[in-house]
């Protein structure tokens, strides 16, 4: 059921500059956050995690979520009406493992193609089958098998693929700090999880190439790291954080090596693995939300952005003051996107393939979401500045099409261009927000 908000939402009087011809405009979602119909697939680590009391702040689960599994035609109609070129969604590994699971993605891809929307699937977006563990090297091989099955079924209609979503967050939040599934608190003993995900990515690239795919990338999260001051201790802490959350996941892919000192901490034959990890990419996906201000450790646990940063870590995360924040408390710093992209260009040079912004978005309440419009306007302009500076950017995907299950936050955070009425599970009515109309108009001006 779709309800429409009356709004013209025609955007700023100062038009956003034109992007190059062929630039790909889209929106993103993920399977666990929107599909629901949990009873029709095998369990994931997120099902197990949310079943434990206290893991999700509002006590909710994604058993129903947006019920996209049953309402996908309604959601594809929203995509077509919005006017996007492409839809980035994820394919649930637990669903693929279940009888008839791939049939759903067959139907979804057919519906997208019929609507003139390019399907861009992500093959892993955190919902690992509960029987597997990223601490186990064999999970990388199992992932490559999963990818081959999916590519064999969908490859005749899908021509752009993303292997993994945000292995940094899945490592840090799920395995180091325990804030996300599977809820492990291993701190630096979680490093093998990073390596095995990167290895899984490389094996997936090979599997996709073997299936004939020619447009393959990854969706890594990145943001500038700003030292809290010019003091040596703050600068050193910021450099360490930048290595851990940025370069640990980009250097192996783009340079074929780990940052100094980290390779020796990884399991297995790292030199051979890096040859797999660094398989050439057709594009490099970046999820951008905000910079991070980092200082020396303060000797105590720090509560930041809903996380507890343990005192024993060799850095502390500080507030970025004098900038707006989203309803999630995340700083709004559009210029950080320009800084990030030009920094990537300078660091990696011709080793950096064309870039696609695979996620960018914000959490705000309300249907007349002018703050979201301002956020998107600012970040798209910042992206255009990076293009003007010579960064080869080929696309931009808003997070997200729908309000959804926001992981450990439950349904308390609304990232969607479309409001979902979770209070009425009988309808889960979709209502396009003002930002939907604004983005729709922007897409018209970019044609």
Binding-site residue ranges for substrate = 33, 125, 165, 289, 399, 406-407
Phi, psi for residue 396 in degrees, rounded to 5: -150, 125
Of residues 311, 300, 317, 141, the one with CA closest to residue 244? 317
- Measured on CA atoms in the order 35, 41, 46, 49, is the torsion positive or negative? positive
**274 CB-side CA count, 13 A:** 19
Spatial contact of 44 and 65, defined as CB atoms under 8 Å apart: no
- List 111, 166, 169, 339, catalytic entry: 166
Q: How many residues does the chain have?
A: 447
423 three-state secondary structure: coil
Of residues 56, 53, 54, the one with CA closest to residue 32? 56
Examine the residue annotation and report whether 303 is marked as an active-site residue of this protein: no
Residue in the block written with tokens 């700003």? 226
In angstroms and rounded to an integer, the radius of gyration of the C-alpha atoms of the chain is: 21
The set of residues, in sequence order, having a beta carbon less than 8 Å from that of 321 and lying 6+ positions away, is none
Examine the residue annotation and report whether 166 is marked as an active-site residue of this protein: yes
**Residue ranges of the alpha helices (H) in 298-358?**
335-348
Of residues 366, 406, 394, 382, the one with CA closest to residue 332? 382
- List 35, 111, 339, 359, catalytic entry: 359
Spatial contact of 266 and 193, defined as CB atoms under 8 Å apart: no
Which residues are part of a known binding site? 33, 125, 165, 289, 399, 406-407
Residue in the block written with tokens 């798209």? 380
DSSP-assigned beta bridge partners for residue 285? 219, 356
Token code pair at residue 137: 């090297």
Which residues are known to be catalytic? Answer: 166, 359
């Amino acid at each position: 059921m779709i309800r429409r908000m009356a709004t013209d939402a025609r955007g700023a009087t100062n038009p956003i500059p034109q992007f190059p011809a062929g630039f790909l405009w889209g929106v993103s979602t993920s399977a666990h956050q929107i599909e629901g119909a949990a009873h029709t697939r095998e369990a994931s680590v997120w099902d197990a995690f949310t079943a434990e009391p206290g893991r999700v702040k509002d006590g909710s689960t994604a058993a129903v979520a947006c019920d996209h599994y049953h309402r996908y035609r309604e959601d594809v109609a929203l995509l077509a009406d919005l006017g996007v070129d492409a839809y980035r969604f994820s394919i649930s590994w637990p669903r693929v493992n279940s009888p008839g699971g791939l049939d759903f993605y067959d139907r979804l891809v057919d519906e997208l193609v019929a609507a003139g929307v390019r399907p861009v699937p992500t093959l892993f977006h955190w919902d690992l089958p509960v029987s597997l563990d990223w601490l186990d090297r064999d999970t990388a091989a199992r992932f490559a098998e999963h990818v081959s099955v999916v590519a064999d079924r969908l490859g005749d209609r899908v021509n752009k693929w993303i292997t993994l979503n945000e292995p940094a967050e899945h490592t840090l939040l799920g395995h180091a700090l325990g804030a996300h599934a599977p809820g492990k608190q291993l701190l630096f003993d979680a490093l093998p999880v990073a390596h095995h995900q990167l290895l899984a990515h490389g094996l997936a690239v090979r599997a996709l190439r073997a299936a004939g795919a020619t447009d393959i990338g990854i969706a890594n999260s990145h943001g500038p790291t700003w030292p809290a001051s010019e003091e040596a201790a703050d600068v050193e802490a910021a450099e360490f954080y930048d290595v851990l959350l940025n370069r640990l996941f980009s250097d192996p892919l783009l340079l074929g090596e780990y940052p100094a000192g980290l390779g020796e901490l990884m399991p297995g034959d790292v030199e051979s693995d890096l040859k797999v990890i660094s398989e050439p990419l057709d594009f490099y996906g970046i999820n951008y939300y905000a910079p991070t201000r980092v200082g020396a450790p303060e000797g105590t646990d720090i509560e930041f952005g809903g996380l507890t940063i343990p005192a024993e870590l060799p850095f502390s995360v500080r507030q970025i003051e004098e900038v707006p924040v989203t309803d999630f408390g995340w700083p709004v710093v559009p210029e950080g996107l320009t800084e990030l992209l030009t920094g990537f260009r300078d660091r990696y040079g011709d080793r950096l393939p064309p870039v696609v912004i695979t996620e960018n978005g914000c959490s705000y309440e309300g249907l007349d979401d002018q703050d979201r419009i301002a956020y998107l306007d600012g970040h798209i302009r910042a992206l255009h500045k990076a293009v003007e500076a010579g960064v080869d950017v080929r696309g931009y995907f808003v997070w997200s099409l729908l309000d959804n299950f926001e992981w450990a936050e439950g349904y308390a955070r609304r990232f969607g261009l479309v409001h979902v009425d979770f209070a009425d599970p009988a309808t889960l009515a979709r209502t396009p927000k003002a930002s939907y109309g604004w983005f729709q108009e922007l897409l018209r001006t970019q044609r």
